[in-house]
Amino acid sequence: MDTKPVTFKRPSLEQSAGFDRSVIDYIQNAAAHGLYEIRGMGAKRKLPHFDDLVFLAGSLSRYPLEGYREKCVTKTILGTRFAKKPLELDIPITIAGMSFGALSANVKESLGRAATAMGTTTTTGDGGMTPEERNSSKTLVYQCLPSRYGFNPDDVRRADAIEVVIGQGAKPGGGGMLLGQKVNPRVAKMRTLPQGVDQRSACRHPDWTGPDDLAIKIQELRELTDWEKPIYVKVGATRTFNDVKLAVHAGADVVVVDGMQGGTAATQTCYIEHIGIPTLAAVRQAVDALEDLNMKGQVQLIVSGGIRSGADVAKALAMGADAVAIGQGVLYALGCNSETYIQNGEHMSAIEGYDALGTAPGFCHHCHTGKCPVGVTTQDTVLEQRLQPDVGARRLKNYLKTLNMELTTIARACGKQNVHHLEREDLVALTLEAAAMARIPLAGTNWVPGVNGF
């Protein structure tokens, strides 16, 4: 009698859902190195997002505006609560804070030039203000971060607004990180660090703890700038309803809420994928907090974290945001994850660079290595030349222009003469999750899960 177990062909190649090849690879990497994975960009997992909402445009019950001929205002004013000099932007789309160190000086210049051309703001990052970005940006937001690298009163005075960063969507509760490969002499000097150290930033501010202290810290920044400049408070999306209320209590002019799809130049994957809530859920909580405090319109809300298209911008605005901030989308516009980089007008292949990192265009998240094959997230003297400010500025301007055109196209279709008139009533949800998180009815129904007791 045959005593061997009977083998079946199908199960012998059946992949486990819980322990798929990616999970096995993760476990075996952990076993080999005793160290967690660090990478760049934001959450890669599929999340409820703006894709799960659609607009109800004009028809018989509402009428649309003529797409090209009728006016649709995009002007956006930020910082009306206390600042003597609020910011007046031409479009509600801003450039998110990204550091010199994470990005090259050429990139910072590109961002400034494109933002200036489009009448919007760009933002410094964890590493201080570079002359490249100050000189190229008409309106520059200066971040005050826990590390205070390169932070100084002259730059506070040179800034047009100040953003106190409490957290970031990619890593709420965590500080910044810049691995040694990117800490070149200039970065090291700006951050007062030894060259080549694996730099870890603090996760809490050095001189205040909690919302009551923050109120005094904000007052210090106001006193220092004679109450002229708008003060933003940026939070990574977690307990967003409470955090936004506390930021308002602390005296913010503008609250920036960054959802978990928000990117980073380097952090532990466990942060990126497992900490924070999706942007869609965060926007709703943030708007609820402002409405609860009767502060809608007095304190402006900027939403970031995975904003890619004009449709995303329109949905964020309809949900109640005053503006959005974009980080990763901006990098992709510059050529991040592209097969080529542009040198003297010619496309050059970057494939070898991706190969060396063990990745390929469309998958790369190796910002943390400083070996960006297209010269975006690098401090390498050779690689950084792959992104020239002229090319970067033009591409980014085109991207922002496209987003703005899409935004106004949608707004006109909904019959709005001003993009800020988009409202929740213009939206319906395609999935139960999105309907519940955004508290927007499921398409074709008037059902909002969790509302009115069912």
List, in sequence order, every beta strand (DSSP E) within 145-212.
Answer: 161-165, 177-178, 199-200
C-beta of 72: minimal distance to other proteins in Å? 40
Write down the least CB distance from residue 174 to other proteins, Å: 15
For position 358 contacting other proteins by CB under 8 A, the verdict is no
d(CA 129, CA 162) in angstroms, rounded, equals 12
Closer to other proteins by CB, 171 or 397: give it: 171
Is residue 74 a contact partner of residue 90, using CB atoms and an 8 Å limit? yes
By C-alpha distance, which of 329, 301, 162, 167 is closest to 239? 167
What would the two tokens of residue 218 be? 């904000």
Site for other proteins in 133-192 (CB under 8 A): 147-148, 151-154, 156-157, 179-180, 191-192
Rounded to the nearest whole angstrom, what is the least distance from the CB of residue 158 to other proteins in the complex? 13
**223 in contact with other proteins (CB under 8 A):** yes
Residue 330 carries which side chain, given as an amino acid letter? V
Among 23, 216, 270, 360, binds other proteins (CB under 8 A): 216
3-class DSSP string for 321-349: CCEEEECHHHHHHHCCCCCEEEECCEEEE
Query: What DSSP designation does 453 have?
Result: T
For other proteins, give the closer residue by CB, 238 or 269: 269
Q: Site for other proteins (CB under 8 A): which residue of 197, 348, 360, 451?
A: 197
Mapped onto helix, strand or coil, the DSSP state of residue 103 is strand
Cα(263)–Cα(247) distance, integer angstroms:
22
* Strand order, beta sheet including 122-123: 93-95, 323-326, 300-304, 254-258, 231-236, 161-165, 140-144, 122-123
| 31 is a contact residue toward other proteins (CB under 8 A) | no
Residue placing its CB nearer to other proteins in the complex, 45 or 157: 157
DSSP letter at 368 equals G
Query: How near is the Cβ of 364 to other proteins at its closest, in Å?
Result: 15
CB atoms within 10 A of CB 420: 20
Q: Which is nearer to other proteins, 216 or 432 (CB)?
A: 216
- Calculate the dihedral angle through the C-alpha atoms of 181, 167, 256, 440, rounding to the nearest 10 degrees: 110
How far is 217 from 207, CA to CA, in rounded Å? Answer: 8
Least distance CB 152 / other proteins (angstroms):
6
- Residue 28 binds other proteins (CB under 8 A): no
24 or 197: CB nearest other proteins: 197
With CB under 8 A as the contact rule, the residue among 26, 55, 227, 332 that binds other proteins is 227
In the complex, the smallest distance separating the C-beta of residue 44 from other proteins, rounded to whole angstroms, is: 17
One residue of 34, 345, 444, 453 binding other proteins per CB under 8 A = 34
Please report whether residue 194 would count as binding other proteins according to CB under 8 A.
yes
Q: Which residues in this chain contact other proteins in the complex, by CB under 8 A?
A: 32-35, 37-38, 147-148, 151-154, 156-157, 179-180, 191-194, 197-198, 202, 206-208, 213, 216-217, 219-220, 223-227, 368
